[in-house]
Amino acid sequence: MNAVNHYDAIVIGGGPAGLTAGIYLSRARLRTLIVNEGTVGGQMVLTHEIANYPGVESISGYQLANMMKKQAKTFGCDIRANVIISGLELTGETKSLTLSDGSSYTSDSVILATGGRSRTLGVSGEDTFKGKGISYCATCDGDFFTNKEIVVLGGGNSALEEAVSLTKYAAKVSIVHQFDHFQAFEHAVEEARNNPKIDFILESSITAFYGNEKLESIDIKNLNTGGITRFKTDGVFIFIGYMPNTEFLKGKVELNQWGEIPVRPDMSTNIEGVYAAGDSITKRFRQVATAVGDGTVAALSASAYLHDLKTKKQFIPA
Binding site for ligand FAD (CB under 6 A): 12-18, 35-38, 42-44, 46-47, 50, 52, 85, 113-116, 131, 136-137, 140, 245, 248, 278-279, 286-289, 291
**Least spacing, CB of residue 293 vs ligand FAD, in Å:** 11
Task: Quote the strand ranges of 187-278, DSSP E.
Answer: 198-201, 204-211, 215-222, 228-232, 235-238, 242-244, 274-276
**Least spacing, CB of residue 20 vs ligand FAD, in Å:** 8
**Least spacing, CB of residue 307 vs ligand FAD, in Å:** 25
Judged by beta carbon, residue 135 or residue 233, the one nearer ligand FAD is 135
Q: In what order do the strands lie in the sheet with 235-238?
A: 134-135, 235-238, 149-153, 172-176, 198-201
Judged by beta carbon, residue 83 or residue 223, the one nearer ligand FAD is 83
**Least spacing, CB of residue 267 vs ligand FAD, in Å:** 12
Judged by beta carbon, residue 201 or residue 283, the one nearer ligand FAD is 283
Percent helix, percent strand, percent coil in the chain, to nearest 5 = 30, 30, 40
**Least spacing, CB of residue 204 vs ligand FAD, in Å:** 24
Backbone φ, ψ for residue 18 (5° rounding):
-65, -40
Judged by beta carbon, residue 16 or residue 235, the one nearer ligand FAD is 16
Judged by beta carbon, residue 198 or residue 263, the one nearer ligand FAD is 263
CA angle 83, 86, 87 (to 5 degrees): 125
How far apart (Å, rounded) are the C-alpha atoms in residues 6 and 24?
Answer: 18
How far apart (Å, rounded) are the C-alpha atoms in residues 179 and 188?
Answer: 16
